[in-house]
Structure 1
Amino acid sequence: MANGIDLTLDCTDARLLAAFWKTALGYVDEPPPAPFATREEWFASFDPAEDESVHDCAWLRDPDGIRPRLSLLKVAEPKTAKNRLHIDVRVPGHGDADARWARIRAEAARLVAAGGSVLAEFEGHHVVLADPEGNEFCVAAART
């Protein structure tokens, strides 16, 4: 059996990025692990330092439970270079190349409206964007 993966993004504003990635991926907040009723209760169980807050983190999941979970964790140091690993947002649907490209561009525009920014466009293939904190990702067609 293969191992599963979760993805974690370091950030400066977990709530801002959580809102963006929920919009981008259709993810939802992940509930706290049992037996905890809230994330605050779960977080307090680790006896965090006084300057740490549950609001410095966010945990997201695919509502269908199929795709990797995404954690957003506040860190002190800023992003300083291009990501070595990035997310590809795959736009569903089939059709001819022009129809696929139109869907890719429409999704890129939707994510710009949600706070992202276009970094590069590779005509007919994919668009490179950045989330509100500069983390690079691509929008491309779903693999057939």
Structure 2
Amino acid sequence: MAIRIDLTFDCADARVLAAFWKTALGYVDEPPLAPFATREEWLASFGPEEAGDEEDGAWLCDPDGVGPRLSILRVPEPKTAKNRLHIDIRVPGHGTAGERWARIRAEGARLTAAGGSVLVEVDGHHLVMADPEGNGFCVAARAA
């Protein structure tokens, strides 16, 4: 049996980064763990020294339960280097190379409007992008 993984982003602003990745991946806020009705209740269960606040993190999940959960956690240190692991967003659909490239560029435009930025266009193949906090990811066509 395969092991499920979560991906965790360190960040300066969990709300901004969560909003971007919800838009990028179609993810939703993960419901709180039972028996808690809200994230606030869950955080309060840790006690005042450990609880932090709602702005310290965000937890996202694939609404279909297929993709990995994302944990987005505020940390005091700034990002200082290129990430050694990145996400590839794969746009669906077949067609000609030109049609696939048009879909990749359209997805790049959508993610730029959501707060991302295009760093490099590898013409006809993929885009190298960054989320609002500079974490790199790529946009490419889904493999056939």
TM-score, normalised to structure 2, is 0.96
SS in structure 2 of the partner of residue 83 of structure 1: coil
Q: What is the match of residue 74 of structure 1?
A: 74
Q: What is the match of residue 105 of structure 1?
A: 105
Q: What is the match of residue 136 of structure 1?
A: 136
Q: What is the match of residue 124 of structure 2?
A: 124
Q: How many Å separate the matches in 1 of 2:49 and 2:143?
A: 45
Q: How many Å separate the matches in 2 of 1:89 and 1:39?
A: 28
SS in structure 2 of the partner of residue 19 of structure 1: helix
Report the CA distance between 1:77 and its aligned residue: 0.3
TM-score, normalised to structure 1, is 0.96
Q: Is 1:114 aligned to 2:77, yes or no?
A: no
The amino acid of 2:73's aligned partner reads: L
SS in structure 2 of the partner of residue 2 of structure 1: coil
Q: What is the match of residue 38 of structure 1?
A: 38
Would you say the 8 A contact 2:88–2:138 is kept in 1? yes
Q: Is 1:23 aligned to 2:23, yes or no?
A: yes
Runs of 4+ with >3 A deviation: none
Q: Percent of aligned pairs with the same residue? A: 75
Q: Say how many residue pairs are matched.
A: 144
Unaligned runs of 5+ in 2: none
Q: How many Å separate the matches in 2 of 1:30 and 1:51?
A: 18
Note the aligned Cα RMSD (angstroms): 1.2
The amino acid of 1:26's aligned partner reads: G
Report the CA distance between 1:50 and its aligned residue: 7.3
Report the CA distance between 1:51 and its aligned residue: 8.3
Report the CA distance between 1:52 and its aligned residue: 2.2
Report the CA distance between 1:48 and its aligned residue: 4.6
1:101-128 Cα offsets, whole Å, 9 max, x none, are 0000000011001100111110111101
The amino acid of 1:102's aligned partner reads: A
SS in structure 2 of the partner of residue 119 of structure 1: strand
Q: What is the match of residue 57 of structure 1?
A: 57
Report the CA distance between 1:53 and its aligned residue: 1.1
Unaligned runs of 5+ in 1: none
